[in-house]
Structure 1
Amino acid sequence: MKIYPIETGNFKLDGGAMFGVVPKSLWQRTNPADANNLISMSMRCLLIEDQERLILVDTGLGSKQSDKFFGYYDLFGDFSLDASLKEHGFHRDDITDVFLTHLHFDHCGGAIQWNANRTHYEPAFKNAKFWSNENHWQWATNPNPREKASFLKENINPIEESGQLNFVRGNGFDQLGFEVLFMDGHTEKQMLPKLRIGDQTLVFMADLLPTVGHIPLPYVMGYDTRPLLTLQEKELFLNEAADNNYLLFLEHDAYNTLCTVTHTEKGVRLQDTFQFSDLF
């Protein structure tokens, strides 16, 4: 198994929303805000090459939304999904599987694109199976008022209409070749890939741990639907990660790609940060 970071772009979100009840005087130490209180975020996906399969974990925002929509998120930088795939010698038509941790627009928007004459939407990965899970799919297609603005029909319905939709069963290993961890604090049945690469275990953190600034337990996003459950899930997972020296792949951290955590007197805290080239 080989893995590659796929940088699909950068955007900005409100720092207060990203850290919930934690005061700005604390969270800005790790996640500095601009004059509009926005913090920089990446949309870093993961490509897994495993024998004949090429699995893309999440897809970023995509490009089909309006300029007005994108204007809300201050997109910046030169990254794109296609350019990042090309850098590693791949094309989107090579992708055999698209694994969506959850269906919020910044994680799945790139799964669907306009057709050539912009008359309807189509899968952006024509040869791929798309992976979600049944509970999350039902949650996203019948959204609650709190999350409705994050579950966009144009990102979700065309996946099912294409006939390419598949659901993860059990822990996913038999279907995907890696274990899937399910988390319910951020949204219903968010899925985190847990990979074994040589003698290392790597976990793709999605929105359980957006950045290294979110490692302390109370640092929970205001976007989470069940913040107290996120606290419990983070505590259990971070203790396991510290016990076993897991590598944590950070989807949204604009400054760090990977990190490890360790036990301290104050609880689990950051141990080291790494860029991908440091380790792979």
Structure 2
Amino acid sequence: MSDIPEQDQPMPLVSHLTELRTRLLRCVVVVFVVFACLFSFAQQIYTLVSAPLREYLPPGATMIATDVASPFLTPFKLTMMVSLFLAIPMILHQVWGFIAPGLYKHEKRVAVPLLVSSILLFYLGMAFAYFVVFPLVFKFFAHATPEGVTMATDIASYLDFVMTLFFAFGVAFEIPVAVVLLIWIGVVDVKYLRKIRPYVVIGCFVVGMILTPPDIFSQTLLAVPMWLLFEIGVLAGGMIRKRSDEDPEQEQQDRPPATRP
């Protein structure tokens, strides 16, 4: 029995747009529902996120708010971002529900693990930033503060800084998913990625130098995980390509027909 799409008949453009609007509205509703549940804890959430910095403030020093509305708007903004991050699984579920009918079974066998892995790796990257990178970064900044200068960070500036790092590390930890996708769609092959491994290692250290303080320890702490994630992606991509090569008849059956939407 050939492997064919679940919905082989093209849908009208209006139907596609209507479904897209519905799924976008569901995403917005989910974000606001999560936000409504977290709003009363906005101050506690900011206290938790700012803990890595406050631990290294000088005795008697505190974070400051230089804008009149910052004490309210900054925790509000953080809570909204946290709501968005927590809603990512539901958002990706809606994305999957929109594109899945146009995929074939062999595509879904790869797409589903990649989708789940991308969510877990993004959260893992954020956790790595909070528990490993932040303490090192703020400890370095605290020790690098010139004599006679009191370290008192503005709460809005701190939020912008940590959200940039959260996003950067979350994206950096998506390296295995990106590598597997590149191999799966045929942009690169495993042999080529293994050939450029030395350049990848150098690139990881360059990224580590940009995203972390200028000390070899914290640079290595980011570069080594990125390199290991790259190797995991190459290994997983090689397994997927090997399985595809071993089953050419199934790939022939899975080939989309001319009427595929």
Q: TM-score per shorter chain, which class?
A: under 0.3
TM-score (structure 2 length as normaliser):
0.25
Q: As a proportion of its length, which structure holds more strand?
A: 1
**Where is the helix percentage greater, Structure 1 or Structure 2?**
2
- Tell which structure's C-alpha radius of gyration is larger: 2
Identify which of structures 1 and 2 has the higher relative contact order when contacts are C-alpha pairs closer than 8 Å and 6+ apart.
Answer: 2
* TM-score (structure 1 length as normaliser): 0.24
